[in-house]
A and B are shown apart, each in its own frame.
Chain A
Amino acid sequence: MDETQPQIKEFLSRFFKSHDLQPDDDIFALGFVNSLLAIQLVAFVEKTFGVRVEDEDLDLDNFRSIRAIADLVARKTGAAAPA
């Protein structure tokens, strides 16, 4: 988790250059989230953290903030770990 949030922040900061994104900032409320960024965000999460974002993960609350995305990654990686 400690490594996850900075990586997400670095990615998102490309799109919110004039704003110092905080972990709980609502990126949808800040604007500039269009469909291209939406699928780029999915690709980023999958490539960077080695998880697959499934159809059931399609919930705005999973992508609303740095912390929300990090929580999603944590759940996905936890689910993928051996029992």
Chain B
Amino acid sequence: MRLELTAEQRQARAEFRGFAAAEIAPHADAWDRAEAIPRELVDRLRGRGWLGANLAREHGGRGLDMITYGLLTEEIARGCSSVRSLLTVHDMVAHAVARWGSREQRACWLPLLARGEALAALALSEPNAGSDAAAVETTARTDGDAWVLDGRKKWTTFGQIADLFLVFARAEGGPAAVLVERETPGLAVRPLRGIVGTRASMLAELFFDGCRVPKGNLVGRPGFGVSHVAATALEQGRYSVAWGSVGIGQACLDACRGYAAERRQFGAPLADHQLIRALLAEMIVNVRAARLLCLRAGWLRDAGDPGAPAETMAAKYFASTMATRAANDAVQIHGANGLTEEFPVARYLRDARVMEVIEGSTQIQQITIPLFDFQEF
């Protein structure tokens, strides 16, 4: 495992960091309050090739190595977790289609996803199906040359603006994954507001009522929708969320460094008080540790190592719980200021909490990680 970034990776990180500092971070609080990100930002991300950046060049993607992709995710998340979540869900679908899509689906959709010309969203969660993904109640039945979908999806990230949904449904033969275009008759999209964290991630509820799509829209085969298609998407999502959590942790550290240096109590900067330093030390070390776990997961992913999914899970677990602790401490360091909208740390805390729920909750990781602990590849 290589511990140092290459010159190209450092250069790419500088580009990501510069963009996030100039174009994202200054607006993140306003987007959070508005519960939306502007279309112009999506256009700029698209213009830089950062939507579907994980797709191979043969499909029109940037073909980023997994380390550079992780750096992109961290830097975007350092600016705004909602923007990061756009990359996360779009790339989850792109990855799943690249992995399990038919030749026709890959030829049709991957160039559009790689260029960000079609935004994609993952429609898995339902009112009664969260961690138990196989328990989805949405149904898909065959009717002539079509799949017909009925049911309801909830918490679909960027569902408000997505052009393409990867929908998971119950079918004869087991769980199935089906691509559904936004304008398909029988699909209604309703914005979902009032979420606590990643508030600008433009959540939606999806309602399928006799929604017919061509049979060729099935991804994978019936019975493998959850075990392979969703699992592939979620594995990609965990990698993204892990790096995104590092971004939150780093943002907390950035905010606290400045605040602790300037804010004075008892005649001295906060940073001179030992208990504040203890909080900063925990934050510094844990952000670094989380980043190292992410780097290891990325290195294994690049190598195509069968151990990569388990390592990614470990990275997601540690990084997301780290982000919650870091953000909680960041609020504490900021005192009453940390509880206001005048400082970003309250947003970081709300966003961090989301990271422990999505793409496999902390408890799901705790159940699963020990099962795979003994692997050596």
Contact = CB atoms under 8 A, between A and B. Distances in A.
A80 interface: no
A39 B231 contact: yes
Interface stretch (B146-154, B187-195, B220-228): B220-228
A55 B219 contact: yes
Interface string B116-150: 00000000000000000000000000000000000
The prevalent SS among residues of A at the interface is: helix
Contacts of A14: 374-376
A61 B175 CA distance: 17
Given A14-B374, A47-B305, A56-B221, A40 B310 contact: yes
A31 to B, nearest CB: 11
Given A55-B219, A58-B220, A35 B304 contact: no
Contacts of A46: 304
Contact of B309 (A11, A43, A56): A43
Task: Please tell me the size bucket of the interface on A.
Answer: 20 to 34
B368 interface: yes
Interface residues of B, number: 30
A39 B313 CA distance: 13
B221 A58 contact: yes
Contacts of A36: 231, 309-310, 313, 368, 371-372
Contact of B304 (A17, A34, A43): A43
B223 A60 contact: yes
B308 A43 contact: yes
Contact of A11 (B101, B231, B304, B306): B306
A38 B309 CA distance: 10
Interface of A: 11, 14, 17, 32, 34-36, 38-44, 46-47, 55-56, 58-60
30 contacts: A11-B306, A32-B371, A34-B227, A34-B368, A34-B371, A35-B227, A35-B231, A36-B231, A36-B309, A36-B310, A36-B371, A39-B231, A39-B235, A39-B309, A40-B306, A40-B309, A40-B310, A43-B308, A43-B309, A46-B304, A47-B304, A47-B305, A55-B101, A55-B102, A55-B220, A55-B221, A58-B220, A58-B221, A58-B223, A59-B221
Given A35-B227, A58-B221, 12 more contacts: A11-B306, A17-B374, A34-B227, A35-B230, A36-B231, A38-B227, A38-B231, A40-B306, A41-B306, A43-B304, A47-B304, A60-B223
